[in-house]
Amino acid sequence: MILSFDGRLDGWMVVYFPFILYFSENVEGVNSSSVNIKYMFMKNEDISWKPLSTTDARCAKAWVAYLKFPKENDGSLIAYPVEVTVGHSQGIMSYSRSNYNFPSRFAFTVRIDEADCKEVGNEEFVWLDDRFSDEATLEDLNPMLSFDRLLIAHDATMSYNSSSAYEKVNIVEVLKLFTDLMKLDPSHSRYYQDQHSLVAIEQALLELFSFREYSNMKVCLYYRDSNSRYQDSLCVGLNNLSLSRIGSFEYLLWVRVLDLKYNELQSIEGLEALQLLSCLNLNHNRFRSLTALEPLRLLMSLRVLDISYNEIGLHSIDTTRYLYSSLLSDTIVNNCEKADIEGTDWSEAVLFFKGLQLIQLDIEGNALSNEKFRVLLVKSLPKLKFLDGDDVK
């Protein structure tokens, strides 16, 4: 498998590739004893694993290890082999205390593209529809076809998740059922809407990976801007679907651009697994606070974020802060002068953004957005180049 990605640079000499293991349920015990990674630049015992979770320091569905590769300066595209074995020794255990008993081995190659290792230029990423195309070139489809073959192989070994099983399910009828239940049982409408959303996402992604000609959902688009480093980047568009919840993250681990605008999302729990994600559009949803966006703090490659026209700052009480412990609630912001805040409790917001490496941010249309807050954002995000479409310089 040939992967292209946004690497994090260490002194411009080393690239760190985020390698993800994604399980069907929360597990613990993922470490160098239970997972063996064999490649030429690091010893397995020196590889550290980290759970991608905002709620538990030990358990998660997604676990990440950052593999170190040298950055080539001569323009050569060397493929480095990586071999992984999982489950050959005890250690990985689910939250329900079941051991992982599916020993497996797989191998792939990582190719470092020098263009992908460069910092973002001065161009602004534009979310307008005319910048995206559903016409794919053969070069665009090659990685997708490889991934499609991988999914087919996975389906062949997991009978409960087989493509034939999906064909037997009338997804349209399932979606209609949840729609009817929302009307018949309004007291539980939120639950039914969440389930409807999960089925709708799964349907859209299955159509994407199957390349079904009868699909009328333009899920897979390509960013077209010859002046942008994101030229020809694959964008998954799940916008305007009335989604209240997102899922099927195992199908999205490779995505660099994700468009979720015009939905009804109040949480992005699970999105932290998308470690290659560079550009994310969440405008025109129903986010009520920045704590609901805390998974973004775990996305090391995120550079472009649009959270405009939500409800952030509109509600005086942020109920999500009581659902789980949060650094946003317990840590006092340093290096923020009181004169900047002038009595307004923006400390949590400042701390949240200080943990991101954004070069482009859109936040207009939220109650907390005003000129003073914009000044704080510029101070909190030293790499920021564009704020609400304006050049901050």
**What pLDDT sits at residue 138?**
45
Of 313, 349, 383, 316, the C-alpha closest to 122 is: 383
The contacts of residue 78 (CB under 8 Å, 6+ apart) are 72, 111, 112
Last residue of one domain, picked from the residues 117, 148, 175: 117
Whether 383 is covered by a domain: the verdict is yes
Mark whether 100 and 249 lie in a shared domain: no
Both 353 and 239 in one domain: the answer is yes
Residue ending a domain, among 60, 83, 117, is: 117
Same domain, 80 and 98: yes
Do 130 and 276 reside in the same domain of the chain?
yes
200 within a domain of the structure (yes/no):
no
- Does 253 lie in the same domain as 309? yes
Lookup: tokens for 4? 């292209």
Q: Which residues of the chain have pLDDT under 50?
A: 1-12, 138-139, 141-142, 144-168, 211-217, 319-343
Integer Rg of the chain from CA? 21
* Cβ-Cβ contacts under 8 Å for 33 (sequence gap 6 or more): 89, 91
- Asked if residue 224 and residue 86 are part of one domain, the reply reads no
Together in a domain, 22 and 59: yes
Residues 124 and 271 reside in one and the same domain? yes
pTM of the model: 0.76
User: Cα 65 vs. chain centroid, distance in angstroms?
Assistant: 16
| Count of domains observed in the chain | 2
Distance CA 277, CA 64 (A): 14
What is the domain-level CATH number for residue 27?
2.60.40
pLDDT of residue 271: 94
> Is residue 126 domain-shared with residue 82, that is, in the same domain?
no
Question: 57, 86, 117 — which closes off a domain?
Answer: 117
pLDDT tens, position by position, 181-194: 888 888 888 888 88
User: Is 245 part of any domain?
Assistant: yes
Tell me the pLDDT tens digit for each residue of 76-132: 667 889 999 998 888 899 888 888 888 889 898 887 765 555 555 567 888 877 777
Q: Which residue range(s) make up the domain with 38?
A: 8-117
Whether residue 156 is contained in a domain is answered as no
| Shared domain check, 332 and 225 | yes
Report the CATH number at residue 308: 3.80.10.10
- Residues 228, 358: one domain? yes
Instruction: For residues 222 and 370, state if they share a domain.
Output: yes
